[in-house]
Structure 1
Amino acid sequence: MTSLAAFVLASLILVAVPGPNLIYIVTRSVQDGRRAGIISALGVETGTFLHVVAAVCGSATLIADHPLAFTALRYAGAGYLAHLGVRALLRRPPPAVGVADAAGRPARRRLLRLYCDAVLVNLFNPKVVLFFLAFLPQFLPTGLPPADTRTRMLVLGAVFLSIALALDLCYALIGAALTGRLRGTPRRARRLSYLTSGVYLGLAALVFI
């Protein structure tokens, strides 16, 4: 098996295992519908792209090697997820994504907020930093010049991102298929908000541990 084929297989296995990003996308899709799930998937993988760039440029190594910076990132990630959990608990059942909300806020602004939320959820997860620092170098030949190493890391990162995005979109569509059933009545919608809040708070604890 070639190095690239081994990398693709390993990526498929790793991406298929439910983690914070996947749980976040499904939860957002179930609560707010298909478009919200798709936007969230794009946001999460934008965060993945930024993590890959950080690993290639060496910024991720600096964060991992400095306990204070790493701890600050952990607190930021846990705090932001907790913020999303409280926001989900307090907000009214949302209208379908793609239309203006009760305050007349345009759909474009709501979608932008969903996208930014997803980017930050991924970007503030310090475990993603460690993942790319440990995972990508395993599939690089030894003795490469620094420029070639960076180029190959970018290629592997792009392959991983493509696989992750494809699976994220599939899960977003699956979650959206459940939206109608779970939000059929105001009582169900409220229970879904409680469930969503619990998921976000649980993810906050998971990121912090």
Structure 2
Amino acid sequence: MLSKTGREICKVVSFGTFIAFLFVSLGMVCSPGPNMIYLISRTISQGRRAGVISLLGVILGFVIYMIATMLGLSALFITVPFVYESVKWVGAVYLLWLAWNAVKPGATSILKPDTLSIEPPKKLFLMGLMTNLLNPKIAILYVSLLPQFVDPARGSVLLQSAALGLTQIVVSFTINLLIVLVASRVAVWFGTRPTWLRVQRWLMASVLTGLAASLAFDRR
């Protein structure tokens, strides 16, 4: 049964569109990337409270992207193809760089506790915000995918964009909060199993490489 929020959203967008976008949002947040890496590393190093504060910064980044999309940022990609192509290839190269850093000689898993400097709440929030704003996967997928689910025939494009954006933000917050809450326990489990740490590194590298390839060969 849909929650009250879900029912309200379905008044703006169709039920089919809502479910489809829900799964797309779930796929986006579950794929390893800079946001996940930062939240896990920060939580393991400084604790859950630091992870939650960092997550709030990440969520503000999503809100900024949602507002930018509502204001027509995706239209810029359509009218100026060079901008879209530039961002797309920069994003693909960045994801490949992350994949290489996961498996290069001497690399460590994001689930292996590392020493990070202890930061105050304000800096944690800003670091979470900047990690998301500078995340090419989110920048490209968010502003290019969301408009594809908007149907002008159903009425206000602004309201539809807001409803879909809210859906993505709720999904991202829920999944990332779960990641923050279990990060320490998962790290302890992996810490006693070095073979699984290596498997996790190669699995993450494979996913990031796949995302880079998909992004590089994507057509607008």
Give the TM-score, by structure 1 length. Answer: 0.66
Q: CA deviation at 1:187?
A: 3.7
Matches within 5 A, 1:4-153: 4-6=9-11, 7=13, 9=15, 10-17=17-24, 18-24=26-32, 28=37, 32=41, 35=48, 45-90=59-104, 91-93=107-109, 95-96=112-113, 101=115, 105-108=116-119, 116-121=130-135, 125-138=139-152, 141=155, 150=158, 152=159
**Alpha-carbon distance between aligned partners in 1 of 2:146 and 2:155, rounded to the nearest angstrom:** 16
Q: Which moved more, 1:156-165 or 1:51-60?
A: 156-165
Report sequence identity in percent. 18
SS in structure 2 opposite 1:108? Answer: coil
Q: Which moved more, 1:52-61 or 1:130-139?
A: 130-139
Q: Count residues with an aligned counterpart.
A: 196
Q: Which moved more, 1:74-83 or 1:10-19?
A: 10-19
| Structure 1 counterpart of 2:3 | none
| Structure 2 counterpart of 1:146 | none
What whole-Å deviation, never above 9, does each CA across 1:7-61 have from its counterpart, x for those lacking one?
3854454233453432126964997467598678656644432332222222220
Q: Is the 8 A contact 1:60 1:133 kept in 2?
A: yes
What whole-Å deviation, never above 9, does each CA across 1:113-156 have from its counterpart, x for those lacking one?
676444433565523222222224558526xxxxxx64x35642
- CA 1:137/1:64 → structure 2, altered by over 3 Å: closer, same or farther? same
| Structure 1 counterpart of 2:175 | 168
Amino acid in the other structure paired with 1:96: P
Q: Which moved more, 1:40-49 or 1:65-74?
A: 40-49
Amino acid in the other structure paired with 2:141: K
Q: Is the 8 A contact 2:95 2:209 kept in 1?
A: yes
SS in structure 2 opposite 1:77? Answer: helix
Q: Is the 8 A contact 2:51 2:180 kept in 1?
A: yes
What whole-Å deviation, never above 9, does each CA across 1:168-208 have from its counterpart, x for those lacking one?
23652697364443342334323322322222222212222
Q: Is the 8 A contact 1:11 1:163 kept in 2?
A: no
Q: Which moved more, 1:50-59 or 1:39-48?
A: 39-48
Structure 1, unmatched stretches of 5+, are 143-148
**Alpha-carbon distance between aligned partners in 2 of 1:71 and 1:125, rounded to the nearest angstrom:** 13
Q: Is the 8 A contact 1:182 1:188 kept in 2?
A: yes
**Alpha-carbon distance between aligned partners in 1 of 2:86 and 2:146, rounded to the nearest angstrom:** 19
**Alpha-carbon distance between aligned partners in 2 of 1:23 and 1:195, rounded to the nearest angstrom:** 11
Instruction: Please report the RMSD computed on the Cα atoms of aligned residues, expressed in angstroms.
Output: 4.1
**Alpha-carbon distance between aligned partners in 2 of 1:167 and 1:192, rounded to the nearest angstrom:** 23
Structure 2, unmatched stretches of 5+, are 1-5
- CA 1:168/1:202 → structure 2, altered by over 3 Å: closer, same or farther? same
**Alpha-carbon distance between aligned partners in 2 of 1:206 and 1:116, rounded to the nearest angstrom:** 24
**Alpha-carbon distance between aligned partners in 2 of 1:2 and 1:187, rounded to the nearest angstrom:** 46
| Structure 1 counterpart of 2:190 | 182
